[in-house]
Amino acid sequence: MLIFFPGSYGMRMQIARNVFWLVAERGLQVAFGIVSVAMIARAVGPEGFAEFQYAQSLVLIASSMALICGNEVVIPRLVANDVPAAQHRLLAHVYGLSELAAVAGYGLLLALVAMTEEDTVIVMVVAILGFPMLLREPFGVVRSWMQARTDSRPGVVYGMIGLAFRVVAVSALYLVGMDSAPDFAWVIAVESILIAGLLARYYRLHSPRVAVRFDWPLARQLLRDGSVFWVGLMLMFGAKRVDQLLLRPHISLFDLGAYAACMQILDNFMMLSAILASSVAPLMIYAQPTIALVRRNVLSVALGMVAVGVAGGVVLAYCAPWIITLIYGEHYAAATDLLRLCSWASGLVFADTALSLLVIHLRKPKWLVEKWLLVLVTIVMVDLIAIPNHGASGAVYGYIAGNAVAVIVGIGFFFRSREPFAAEQAASARSWFLR
């Protein structure tokens, strides 16, 4: 397939290098994530792992509050105005808003857990794992600044340093026989401090040192423009982790640990869909000159990714006993049947990721809000019906149903993109990408 991508050879190489570094980081996140999670799961056992993952689910949902000014809002503004002082002023406001939202999210999380949770281990792990909320997104504005400059390499290198620290620290705790979930949670907290410090140091060395006064009109504009993306992300995070919250009252910690182990493997495999999408999207989707070419390429990418997802799902289902034993050990044998059942959703997840590229290209965040609201409602409804009768398998049914709805909605968006406004949206998105 010929790919139309106007621009200089230097521009193409710069974009290609940037994508390479982003994809490399994703790949290492998968590899290092599997290694570190495997050691944590083996060290703390199924019940301790259930507590760890349940706490992580609570933190993940709460952390979505800090995503109040995402890349969709920040990067286009940075690209449109490359004056260092203006960029510094913008980033200072984004950092302040993100930090305030993170503090509010962390406070609400601690209050909620303290009032409702009787398991002291979960309370401790939530408090520790929640601390990175105060650092990850606020200091992530430096990564946005790097992406706007088409130079994500420093941020990726710092991320790799953090991942290496996590693996080394988790390995050390595992080898000395530590079996406490909070001890392993501290590793993730320290990793976030390390990465935030490196990002802050890099920005300080390469940014102007000028005082910034709070500008309420700018802050209000950032909040208004980012609100739709923010709502969509909160719904997405909720849809991805609500299953464990609904499961816990109905099954034992041992069974919840097996379910968490299954979903951890599935999440790592599904990250391949994001890696593939980020690899092909810049040239095959975002750089296309017409909505017709965009839609054609989205369809081609979707078909190819579905094939990859289905093939991978077949391999997961066939190798489930070996994968579970290799990564987690014999204590997690109950996860085998769950992994086989979950593998049926592989093609759906890959299809949804591919179809989402069209929505992202057209910059229609309201469509994403519609999708994730429907997905979240579907998962909750199916889980409330199926979990009391089928336990962990019922949560898997909700997972499959949610992804099926996501694909159906994505197909609906594909047909809606033929409307007259879509061509104008595509042209606007393409002009931003080629700046």
Residues 6+ apart with CB under 8 A from 319: none
- 3-class SS of residue 401: helix
Q: How many CA within 13 A on the CB side of residue 301?
A: 30
Q: What is the pLDDT of residue 21?
A: 64
DSSP letters for 237-253: HHHHHHHHHHHTTTS-H
pLDDT on residue 6 = 44
What per-residue string of b and e applies to 183-202 under the rule 16 or more CB within 10 Å gives b? bbbbbbbbbbebbbebbeeb
Question: How many Å apart are CA 277 and CA 285, to the nearest integer?
Answer: 10
What confidence score (pLDDT) does residue 340 get? 92
- The pLDDT value recorded for residue 43 is 93
pLDDT at 74: 87
Sign of the dihedral defined by the CA atoms of residues 33, 30, 286, 418, in that order: negative
> According to the model, what pLDDT value does residue 19 have?
62
Residues of the chain whose pLDDT is less than 50? 1-7, 421-424, 426-435
pLDDT value of position 3: 39
Digit-coded pLDDT (tens) for 55-75: 999 999 999 999 888 887 888
* Residue indicated by tokens 């709805």: 405
pLDDT at residue 433, as a whole number: 39
pLDDT for 71 equals 80
Residue 304 is encoded by which pair of tokens? 């190819």
pLDDT score of 93: 92
Counts of helices then strands in the chain (DSSP H, E): 16, 0
DSSP alpha helices (H): ranges in 251-290?
Answer: 253-281
Give pTM, 2 decimals.
0.86
Q: Are 129 and 184 in contact (CB under 8 A)?
A: no
DSSP 283: I
Q: What is the pLDDT of residue 307?
A: 94
Q: Which pLDDT belongs to residue 148? A: 80
pLDDT at 27: 74
161-218: per-residue pLDDT in tens? 999 999 999 999 999 999 899 999 999 999 999 999 999 999 998 888 877 888 889 8
